[in-house]
Amino acid sequence: MKILVIGNGGRESAIAHTIRRFHKDATIYVAPGNGGTDLDYINVPIKVEALKELADFAEQEQVDLTVVGPEVPLVMGIVDVFNERGLKIFGPNKECAQFEGSKYFTKQFLMRNEIPTAQYASFNRNEVEACVKASKHFSLPVVVKADGLAAGKGVLICETYEAAEEGIREIFSGKFGDAGELIVLEEFLTGTEASLLCFVDGETIVPMETARDYKRALDNDEGLNTGGMGGFSPNPIINPSVKQNIDTRILKPIIEGFKKEKLNFKGVLFIGLMIDGKDPKVLEFNVRFGDPETQSVLPRLKTDLVEIMGACIEGRLADTSIEWDERQSVTLVLASKGYPESSHKGDVINGLDTLEEETILCHAGTKRVEDSIQTDGGRVLAITRLASSLEEARAEIYKEVQKIQFDGMQFRTDIAK
């Protein structure tokens, strides 16, 4: 079997690792991949935005299944390009990828289908003054969001109306290009966040095990927002009664809404939730696996991921039973010097070969330079351990991280505490 994984992050490393667990003999390509996938699989030097080249490669190599990691190619329509050429690919089509490509599209869907979410108002570039005025009708803090993809930087939580006005003018002035054509203003929700990744086949939605991500750079949720500095699974905030509410108030209306609106969503729907007491509300949708949630969740999967992805593509999810490991997982992200403000590259990483066999190592911002592995900016590595308790997994992770060294290495010390 030949599988092509598109992307170069820790998430794609975790996807490839999971496929390998079930398919020892598969040929796994990663495009463009990182230093770790260069060692363990076959890196293909094609960028994630080069849709035609990726399809050409899949066709030439007779790839059996392509799995898309990041949102950018999905929003660009990679699934439509592959489908038109009869190539099997896992992920939503361009129409459904708007759930990540446009916050306004998602908000409208949630409202139409009466799915709990923050109150909102939206404005286009011709309505700057109306947008500024409307922001003052929201309680503080007010949330200002650029509509489109902004690499995680398009959401501002504004503690003052002056800050909101500044943010609105900045977004409309073109800071995020087309992503800032529209602004969504939102009521600020309080509670605890959780990430719920779901498999979807157009007819059926099946949640994976729950996870928690740590978005801030520093301990105690201080510092800047990042792509995610660590996580764990399961997330205890989703207890049985919250789960029940998520099923009835969120998952059921989502799949009913997809069917009613003829949105043939196939792939992973990542639901960002805010949970206040027993009340879950949708913060946002992503249309792909999360990073680093995937590094925490997939090691717990006991059913063949390739089989599940095939079931999603072919509409057989209702007949597929998905099993999970009872053990809990903790993932720690190691980032490069200066992250997230700047991105240092080229520092040699030592100690990776001294990790215990039970430690799952996912490379992200790394590259192979002759015999060494060097940092390549951003989040560099993620390490995950499974154990019978969170405390135990956490203890193992923080023991293992002591063995890894690179200049300027930074990580949080309070993951899963």
Binding residues for ligand GLY, rule: CB under 6 A, are 213, 228, 286, 290-291, 293
Find the part of the chain contacting ligand AMP (CB under 6 A) among 86-94, 184-192, 230-238, 304-312: 184-192
Q: At a CB cut-off of 8 Å and minimum separation 6, what does 120 contact?
A: 107, 184, 185, 186, 187
Smallest gap from residue 186 Cβ to ligand AMP (A): 4
Nearer Cβ to ligand GLY (202/290): 290
As a whole number of angstroms, the distance between CA 50 and CA 58 comes to: 12
C-alpha 159/C-alpha 164 separation (Å) is 8
Q: 11-24 burial string, b = 16+ CB within 10 Å, else e?
A: bbbbbbbbbeeeee
237 binds ligand AMP (CB under 6 A): no
Alpha-carbon separation of residue 186 from 250, 281, 340 (angstroms): 19, 13, 25
Q: Write out the binding residues for ligand AMP, residues 256-285 only, by CB under 6 A.
A: 272, 283-284
Q: Determine, following the binding rule CB under 6 A, whether residue 161 of this chain makes contact with ligand AMP.
A: no
Count the Cβ atoms, other than its own, within 10 Å of residue 388: 10
Q: Is 53 in the site for ligand AMP (CB under 6 A)?
A: no
Q: Whole-number minimum distance, CB 304 to ligand AMP, in Å?
A: 30
Residue 189 Cβ vs ligand AMP, minimum distance, rounded to whole Å: 4
| Least spacing, CB of residue 226 vs ligand GLY, in Å | 9
Whichever of 69 and 180 has its CB closer to ligand GLY, that residue is 69
- Residue owning tokens 């597929």: 320
Identify what 290 binds: ligand AMP, ligand GLY, none; CB under 5 to 8 Å per kind. ligand GLY
Q: Which is nearer to ligand AMP, 118 or 313 (CB)?
A: 118
Q: How far apart are CA 86 and CA 313, in angstroms?
A: 13
**Is 245 buried (19+), middle (13-18) or exposed (0-12) by CB count in 10 A?**
middle
Residue 392 interacts with which of ligand GLY, ligand AMP, none, CB < 5 to 8 Å by class: none
- Give CA–CA dist 335/109, Å, rounded: 36
Which H helix or E strand runs over 242? Answer: helix 240-246
Q: Which is nearer to ligand AMP, 26 or 155 (CB)?
A: 155
Q: Are 232 and 226 in contact (CB under 8 A)?
A: no
What's the order of all strands across the beta sheet hosting 266-276? Answer: 205-207, 192-201, 266-276, 279-286
> Whose CA is closest to 6, among 33, 28, 27?
33
As a whole number of angstroms, the distance between CA 365 and CA 35 comes to: 8
Instruction: Give the per-residue contact string, 138-157, with ligand AMP (x = CB under 6 A; - = no).
Output: -----x--------x--x--
**Shortest distance, CB of residue 72 to ligand GLY, whole angstroms?**
12
Which entry of ligand AMP, ligand GLY, none binds 293, CB below 5 to 8 A by partner kind? ligand GLY
Rounded to an integer, what distance in angstroms lies between the CA atom of residue 214 and that of residue 412?
A: 9
Question: Looking at beta carbons, which residue is closest to ligand GLY?
Answer: 290
Do the beta carbons of residue 29 and residue 41 sit within 8 Å? yes
Q: Judged by CB, which is closer to ligand AMP: 152, or 351?
A: 152
The verdict on 186 binding ligand AMP (CB under 6 A) reads: yes
Residue 10 binds which of ligand AMP, ligand GLY, none (CB < 5-8 A, kind-dependent):
none
**Minimum distance from CB of 157 to ligand AMP (Å)?**
6
Here's the x/- map for ligand AMP, 88-127, by CB under 6 A: it reads as ------------------------------x---------
Q: How far is the CB of 85 from ligand AMP (least distance, A)?
A: 32
- Could you tell me the smallest distance in angstroms from the CB atom of residue 228 to ligand GLY? 4
Strand partners, 360: 384
Q: For residues 59 and 77, what is the distance between their CA atoms, to the nearest angstrom?
A: 17
**Considering only 23-31, 125-133, 181-189, 374-382, which stretch makes contact with ligand AMP by CB under 6 A?**
181-189
Residues forming the site for ligand AMP (CB under 6 A): 118, 143, 152, 155, 186, 188-189, 193, 215, 272, 283-284
